[in-house]
Structure 1
Amino acid sequence: MKFEVTPFIFETSNSFYCYDDTTKVVIPINKAEKLFLESVNTDEEVDLSTIQQKNNQDISYLLNRVNTLGMFQIPYKKYELSSKTLETSLKEKGIFHLCLVVTEACDFRCSYCIFSDYYEFTKSYSSKKMDFDTARKSIDYYFQQNTKAMLHNPYVSFNIGFYGGEPTLNWKLIEAVVKYVKTEYSDIFDNINFLMTTNGFTLTEKRIDFLAENHFIVSVSLDGTKENHDRNRVTHQLKPTYNVIFDNLKRIEKIYKSKKYPKFSYGILITFDNLTDFKVLDDFFLKNKFLDDRIQLIAPVSEFGTEYYKNQNNRELLKKRTDFIFNLMEKAKQKEFEEHTTNFSLFLLKNMISIPLLYLNYSVSQLRGACTPGHHKLTVDPLGNFHMCEKSNPDLYIGDVHKGIDKDRQIEVMSKYQSLIESKCQECNLKNVCQICYVSATSENGNYFISDSYCEKFRKSFKKSMSNYYELLEENPSLLIKLRK
C-alpha cells in the first residue's frame, strides 16, 4: 500500500492522535505508531509483508485500520469548472446572501479596517452612495434567481444585508429598500431576512425602532473596554467613540427588554489585536452581562496583506495573553466550568477549538475556503457592479445589475485561483480544511499568491486547535457539546 498524503499528527498531555485530511477521521495512536507514521514517505510503497514478518502487531493493526477506512489515499482532485457547472449551481442553489454596499463613506477611521491604508489590495473609502434604482435592480435580480432555485430547493431563504462604509450614512435608501421588498415580495415569501453591520454611532431610538419593527439582525462593533475600543475605533476627526456606542447599546437593550419586538435580534462584534488584554476584557464583560450575552463574534485583526501588526510586539502583553489562555484551558477541564464563566471566555474557547473543528464537517473542498463567486454571497457596490465579497479586490468584479452575473468573469476569477491551488496545495495534508480564499490570497492586479508564512501559521494554528479540542474531549466532553451549539 502507498500513502498518497502525509499523516498529520498532534498530541495532548496524555495521548497521541493522527488526523487524515482525506476522510476527516482522527484516530488515537501509541508512540510506536506515531514514530512509524512520522517516517512515512509518500514516494514509496509500505511493505506490509515485511511488517508482518517482524510480528509488529501495533503497526499491522494500524495499517489495517488505514486500509479499511481508505485513509491517506486520495490526492488533490480538480474542481470541474465550466459555464454549465456554474449555471447548474445557480439554478439549483440560488444565491444565499445579497450584500448591498449602500455607501463607501464612513464616519469612522478604525485603524484596523480592511479599507484603511494598512491593507494594500482592498478598496478605500469614498463618497459613493448607492441610489434606489441600483438597489431595486439588485433586489429584483436576486429574487428572480432564488425563485428559480426554489423549484429545486423549497427551503431557499432570502437574506438581504446592508453594508458600507457605514450603511447608516445612507439611511433613506435602507428604508426605501425595506419598503420595496415588503411591498413587492413579502406577500409571496415569508422567509426574508434583513441584516446590517454597523458601528452603531447614529442609532437613534427612532432608527432602532425601525430595525426592530422589520426584524433586522443587527451587528454592532464594540471592542470591550473604553480604552481598548477607543484605541482603534475613532471618528473621521479622530475623536473617541466608546461612550456613544455604549449608550446606544443600552438603548437597544432597553427596547429589546420591553418585549415590544420579540423577533428583534442584535449582537456585538469584538475585534482584538496584540495589544488587547483578554483578562481586562473578561472582567469588563463579567460586569456588563447585557453585553456579554450579546456577543456574536470575537475575531482578530486580519494579519494577511497588511502591515497593521508591524509595531505590535509587546512581549509583556503577549505573555499575559498566553497565561490567560492557559488558565482558561485549565479551568475548562473542570466540570460545570461553563456555568461559572463569561460568554466572552466561552467564545474565546470556540475560536481556539470548535470553529477549526467545524471545518471537519465539510465535504472535500476542491477550492479550499473559497466559494463560487456570486453564489454564496452576491455583493453589489454603489455603482451596481457585482463582486464575490464586500472585502474583495474591486478589480475582481463578476457582473453588474444590468446584465447579471457574468459567467466568463466567474470562470476567469476561479481559473486563476484554481491554478494557484493546483500548484501550491496538491501535496498538502490540510488542504481540505484550509480556509484560504480569494480575499486572503489576493495580490496586486487581481492575481493570487499564497505565502509560505500563511501556510505555516495555519498549520500551527490547526495543530494547536486539535490539541486543545482533544485535551478537553478527554477531560470535559460536556463543555464541547455546549460550545458547538
Structure 2
Amino acid sequence: MGNVIQDALAFLVNLHPDQWARLGTVFETENNQYFYDTGTGKVFACDPAEYAVLECLLSTSDPAAITGLGLEDNALQQALETITLLVEQEHILQAPVFQKFVTPEKAELPGIIKGGIEQIIIELTEKCNLRCKYCLYQEDNVDTRNFSKQDMDWEVARKALDYISQNAGKMLALTFYGGEPLVNFKLMKQCIEYCKAIMPGVDIPVSFTTNLTLVTDEIAAYLASLDQCSVLCSLDGPEHVHDYYRVTVGGKGSFHQALQGLKRLVAAFDGKPQHSLGINAVLCPPYSKRRFDEVNDFFKTLEWLPKDTRIDCSYVDTGTLDWSELGHVKTDLQDEEFYSEDERTDPLGKWAEYTLDSDQDERGLAKELSQKKLLRIHNRVITDEPLLGIHMNGCCIPGRRRLYVTTDGKFKVCEKMANSPYIGDVETGIDIEAMSKYYFEEYTEKSIKHCSTCWAARLCGICYAPCYQEAGLDEEKKQSHCYGERAAMKMSLKRYHQLVEVSPEKLEYFNELTLS
C-alpha cells in the first residue's frame, strides 16, 4: 500500500512542481464538499479524504505534505487514486499558466466598432439638484470631478449622435447620465427625437437613472409616449434611511419628492409592457440583517408598485471620501453586525441567501441580489480539457458594448470610469490607438501576471471601472479588489451548489437571464 501512495505522490509532483493554488479551490455547503477546477470549469463532489488532500495541495503546493494529514492509509490511498483518475480522465489540475488574455488584435478593432456600437451614454449635465452625502462627485473625492454648472450643448450632442448613427447596428440603447439627467430634460428630449429622425430603421430603447425629484406629469407622459423606455429610480428605502444621505442642496431630505416622482412614472407607464421601472437602493455601513429586512419590507409595502419592478441594491462606493465626514454613521445607525467570514465579505449576498431560504415571496431585494451573484457561476464555461487562455476578467471591448460621451464631447469607456484615459471625441471619433494602448496592452501587461496565478481567473467579474486613474491602469488599485472578488466567487460557488442540493428548481430561472 505504501508503494501505491508513493507512486501517486510522485505523479502529483510531476504534474505541477509549484503554484498549485491557481489550479482550483475547495468549498463546502451544509451537506457536501466540492472542488472547482480552474482549467475546465468543472466542479466535483469530494469525500472528506479527497477534500483534505486537495485542500492540502492547493494551500501548500507540496504533495509530500499530504502524508502529514493524519489520514488512514486506506482512505489516503483511495483519495489519491480517485484524484489521479480525475486528472487522467477529466483533465483536472492541468490549467496552464496563462500567458495572455484572449483579446482582439488592434487591426481588428475598427471593424469591431463598425459592426455596431450597442449603447451610447450621453452625459447631459454635471449639475444635480441633490447633494447626497455619499456621492462620488464632490471636491473631497480626488478620483472624480466635482459638481459643476456644466451642461452638454446641442452641438456636442448632435455630433455624438451623428457619429453613433454611422456605427449603429439594428439596435442602439440610448442612455442618459448626469448629474441628474432631468436637470437637462430639454436636451434629453431633443436627442431622442433626433435619433428617431436619423436612424429610422434602428430599434432605440431609451434609459436613464434618476433621483425622481424632478419628475413631473409632463415628463412622465413624454417618457410613456416612447416605444421603449426604462427608468432606474434611486430610492434608498423608508424615509429615515433615504433622508439620512439623500438630501437637497439645502440639506433637507428628498424622500417625499422622490416617492411622488415614482408614483407619477408608475401611473404613466401603466399598461405599457415595453416600459419598465427599476429601483436601486444604495446601502451604507454598518450592515445588519435587521436593516436589510427593513429596506426590503418597505418596498414590499408599496402595493401600487408593479409586481415586475426590478428592485436592486448596492454597496456604497465612497471613493476617497472620509466616512467620519458623512454623519457619524456608527452612532446614529448602529445595529447588529455580521460576524461570519462570508457575512463580512458580502453581507448583502449572505442576507439574500438567508432571505430566499426562508421567504418564498419573490418580490423584493433578495431575488435580484441572488441572481447577480449566481449567474456568473451558472453561465461559466465548462470544457472537457483546460482552455489555454482567459478573457480580460469582466471587461468589455471599449467602444463596442457602450460609449460614454462627456458634456464637452470626450469619449470614455463607460459612465463608471470617472478619471480615466479618453478614447476619442465627437470631432475625430474613437481613437483606436488610445483604446488599444490603455485598455488592452496596458491592462494585459499589468494584470496577466496576477491573473495567471489566480484560481478565480475564469470567473472574475472585475472590469475596468474600479481600476483606472487619469494616467491609466492603477495596478495597486486593481489588486485591492482581487481578494474580495475571490471571496465573493467562492461564496457564490457555495450558494449555487447548496441550491443544486436542496432547491434545484430555483436554478431554472437563470436559463432566462444574461450577464449585463
TM-score range, shorter chain: 0.7 to 0.9
Distance 1:307 1:426, change over 3 A: farther
Distance 1:226 1:218 in 2: 21
Aligned to 1:272: 283
> What's 1:199 paired with?
211
Q: 1:292 to 1:326 in 2, by over 3 A?
A: farther
Deviations for 1:331-388, whole angstroms, at most 9, x for unmatched residues?
6446xx53x354223234335x424425625996431122222222100001111000
Q: Deviations over 1:392-425 (max 9, x none)?
A: 1334111011111001111221222222102322
TM-score (normalizing by structure 1): 0.86
2:201 equivalent to 1:146:
no
8 Å contact kept, 1:104–1:125:
yes
Partner of 2:123: 101
User: What are the within-5 Å matches in structure 2 for residues 117-136 of structure 1?
Assistant: 117=139, 119-136=141-158
Find the counterpart in structure 2 of residue 152 from structure 1. Answer: none
Q: Quick check: 222-231 or 465-474, which moved more?
A: 465-474
Partner of residue 458, structure 1: 485
Matches within 5 A, 1:82-481: 82-92=105-115, 94-117=116-139, 119-147=141-169, 156-186=170-200, 188-189=201-202, 191-214=203-226, 215-257=228-270, 259=271, 261-275=272-286, 277-291=291-305, 293=307, 294-302=309-317, 307-308=322-323, 316-319=335-338, 329=353, 332-333=356-357, 337-338=359-360, 340=361, 342-351=363-372, 353-358=373-378, 360-361=380-381, 365-414=390-439, 415-443=441-469, 445-451=471-477, 453-481=480-508
- 2:76 is the alignment partner of 1:62: no
Note if 1:24 corresponds to 2:47: no
> 1:274·1:318 contact (CA, 8 Å) conserved in 2?
no
> Would you say how many aligned residue pairs link Structure 1 and Structure 2?
464
- Do the aligned residues in 2 keep the contact of 1:118 with 1:308 (CA within 8 Å)? no
Shift of 1:32: 1.3
**For 1:180, what is the secondary structure of its paired residue?**
helix
Q: Which runs of 5+ in 1 are unaligned?
A: 148-155
Q: Provide closer, same or farther for how the CA distance between residues 29 and 439 of structure 1 changes in structure 2, counting only shifts above 3 A.
A: same
Over the matched positions of the two proteins, sequence identity in percent amounts to 26
Note the C-alpha offset of 1:99: 0.5
CA distance in 1, matches of 2:172, 2:214: 27
Partners of 2:197 and 2:419 in 1: CA distance = 32
The TM-score with structure 2 as length reference comes to 0.81
Distance 1:380 1:325 in 2: 33
> Which residue identity is paired with 1:350?
Q
* Inter-CA distance 91–212: structure 2 relative to 1 (3 Å threshold): same
Contact 1:17-1:27 at 8 Å conserved across structures: yes
Stretches of structure 2 that go unaligned for 5 or more consecutive residues are 1-13, 68-72
| 8 Å contact kept, 2:352–2:365 | no
Equivalent residue number for residue 33 of structure 1 = 50
Quote the Cα distance in structure 2 between the aligned partners of 1:458 and 1:396.
24
Partners of 2:324 and 2:398 in 1: CA distance: 30
Residue 328 to residue 108, structure 1, CA distance change in 2 (3 Å):
closer
Residues 268 and 41 from structure 1, CA distance in 2 versus in 1: closer, same or farther, beyond 3 angstroms? closer
TM-fit CA distance, 1:262: 4.0
Give the structure 2 partner of residue 11 of structure 1. Answer: 28
Deviation at 1:280, TM superposition (A): 1.1
Q: CA RMSD in A?
A: 3.2
> Residue 90 and residue 128 in structure 1: after superposition, are their counterparts in 2 closer, same or farther (change >3 A)?
same
Which secondary structure state, in structure 2, belongs to the residue aligned with residue 367 of structure 1?
coil
